[in-house]
Chain A
Amino acid sequence: MVPTNFYITLSAILFATGAMGVLVRRNPLIIFMSVELMLNAANLAFVAFASQHGSLDGQIFVFFVMTVAAAEVAVGLALIVQIFKSKHSINVDEVNSLKG
């Protein structure tokens, strides 16, 4: 059996990749994919810990995370489409009318 540590290390790497992606990428769609990567890193950790503890709580949490992520996608994509309609671009560097 693969030790839990391996899973947690992999999930930490995925989480860090996602967080870096959010910070460096300029396209909201890619940023959003990076956020999904962070959530899925957490899901991996949940499942690994759930099997280690022999408790189902972690696996149930994963279902909640997936459902909520889907709800977030619905709102997020709608916002991005709306912005694309008015600006014909979704580069976050060009969405910059608010500053100071």
Chain B
Amino acid sequence: MPQLNLSDFYTLLPAFVLTGWASMLLVLDLFIPRGSKGLTAFLAAVGLGLTLGITLVQAGSSSLGFNGMVVLDGFSVFLNALLLVSGLLGIALAYGYVRRMGLERGEYYTLMLFSVVGMMLMVQAADLIVVFIALELLSIPLYVLAAFNNRSPESEEAGLKYFLLGAFSTGFVVYGIALVFGAAGSTSLYGIVAAAASGAPTLLLSIGAALILVGFGFKVAAVPFHMWTPDVYQGAPTAVTAFMSSGAKIAGFAALLRVFAVAFPSLTADLTPVLAALAALTMIVGNLIAVSQNNIKRLLAYSSIAHAGYILMAFVPYGNPQVMPVSVAAGLFYLVAYAVTNFGAWGVVIALEKEDGKGLEISDYAGLFWKNRPLAIAMTIFLLSLIGFPPTIGMVGKFYLFRAVIDGGFVWLAIVGVLTSLVSAYYYLRVVVTMFMQEGEPQAASEFWLNFTWGLTALVTVIVSFVPQLLFEWASNAVLRLF
């Protein structure tokens, strides 16, 4: 009979603490009067901060817990910290937004905390059962959050679409796991790799892996599984979109990387071309469709699809043991760069959004520079970072990514990446030109936490680009536990 001891609980301590905190907050919120839900936001942020502290204490340890169901390693600590910071930024963005839009309800913050727990569990999962549970735990609160504005038909529609396609993709993941289990006789990632080495049926394993890839492709919005993304990102309340476009993507990529690198290194020959094709397709389609968008939320949605393609590039050389550590580090660096820039850009969108979905067309940004210089300059920094233009963190991230892909022998993929970045410059710069060169009377909301968020992320975007070594070293130390 397997025994549990304290070290098992230590591996999952951040998730335990946050789950307990969120459950407590759910009850406590009942006693917080309607007008002062800011207190709930504050308590949720305290919970995230506490968990972040525990996560940072865990840095440097590496262990398996619960009979190999979950794993604690440098990779999980790095991503858990990033997810918790994303949660904090998500609350900072939501704090004023939900009040202004008349959506202020305590469940918002509790649901966010539960979703973060799911993401953290996903990063630590070492067994496909846990991957599945974590996937649902992160998704179900997001379905509710997407439909949170129940007075707006668009928000409801976004919730329904996200829900139906999310459930559909779950079906693929579960069936893929079933086939992998059939081939390997185990759902543990370490058990699968052992079974594959001792002659498990490769065909069944490959089909299973491909179905899992399809399911996660939906989650991270890779082409051709991206159809839901623009609608959901546009319809959902903007603060939710900001959170889910970063958090869900980080968690999805983390699980994808761990599952493929740990469990399926034997399938490299079959899966690498598929991943390369997915990455190239995602970059091309995402960037090309973004060109014709006039709504800033849809524009950023297609931009997030395109960035899923760039991050996927880091996965392409996953089976090559020489390149893998560098490409994983480049992928992690890019996830940080994307999360920071993305939160900033959505923060600016939130500042300019009016009630009933007004203020979201690119033309509404006309003349922003002359009305509100700091905001326009911050937006310019974020857009330059999304293009990959110096001096921003996005440029450094793309540099590391392209270098890793070229080291892995995929020069054509790097060329596709550079060319699509050039295309993306067109539509991002269109927004910049509108802000600086056209006349208009945009009114931006000025709320302390909102200004704090876009100000801080703009500073980080620029400053880290001058000292990228530090962050890249952290990312390089965030290694996967492979056995």
Contacts and interface: CB of A to CB of B under 8 A. Distances in A.
- Tell me the dominant secondary structure on chain A's binding face: helix
A43 B182 CA distance: 12
Given A31-B164, A35-B167, A79 B156 contact: yes
B129 interface: yes
Nearest to B132: A64
A95 to B, nearest CB: 5
Given A80-B160, A98-B235, A61 B153 contact: no
Given A83-B156, A86-B156, A61 B177 contact: yes
Contacts of A48: 182
Contact of B163 (A8, A19, A58, A76): A76
A91 B181 CA distance: 37
A65 B178 CA distance: 11
B266 interface: no
A20 to B, nearest CB: 12
Interface in A48-100: 48-50, 52-53, 55, 57-58, 60-61, 64-65, 68, 71-72, 75-76, 79-80, 82-83, 86-87, 92, 95-100
Nearest to B298: A100
Contacts, number: 130
Given A32-B167, A71-B140, A100 B230 contact: yes
B185 interface: yes
Given A28-B160, A45-B178, A60-B129, A53 B185 contact: yes
Interface string A15-38: 100110010000010011001001
Contact of B187 (A61, A95, A99): A61
B175 interface: yes
A19 B171 contact: yes
A71 B136 contact: yes
Interface residues of A, number: 47
B32 interface: no
Contacts of A58: 178, 181, 187
A8 B177 CA distance: 13
A25 to B, nearest CB: 11
Contact of A83 (B160, B174, B294, B298): B160
- Tell me the dominant secondary structure on chain B's binding face: helix
Contacts of A98: 154, 157-158, 161, 230-231, 234-235
B178 A86 contact: no
Contacts of A75: 140, 143-144, 163
B179 interface: yes
B61 to A, nearest CB: 27
Nearest to B183: A49
A83 B235 CA distance: 14
B123 interface: no
Nearest to A60: B129
A68 B132 contact: yes
B138 to A, nearest CB: 12
A49 B181 contact: yes
Given A45-B178, A65-B132, 13 more contacts: A28-B164, A49-B181, A49-B185, A55-B186, A57-B186, A60-B129, A64-B129, A82-B150, A82-B156, A83-B153, A92-B160, A97-B235, A98-B235
Interface of B: 129, 132-133, 136, 140, 143-144, 147, 150, 153-154, 156-161, 163-164, 167-168, 170-172, 174-175, 177-179, 181-182, 185-187, 230-231, 234-235, 293-295, 298
Interface of A: 8, 11, 15, 18-19, 22, 28, 31-32, 35, 38-39, 41-43, 45-46, 48-50, 52-53, 55, 57-58, 60-61, 64-65, 68, 71-72, 75-76, 79-80, 82-83, 86-87, 92, 95-100
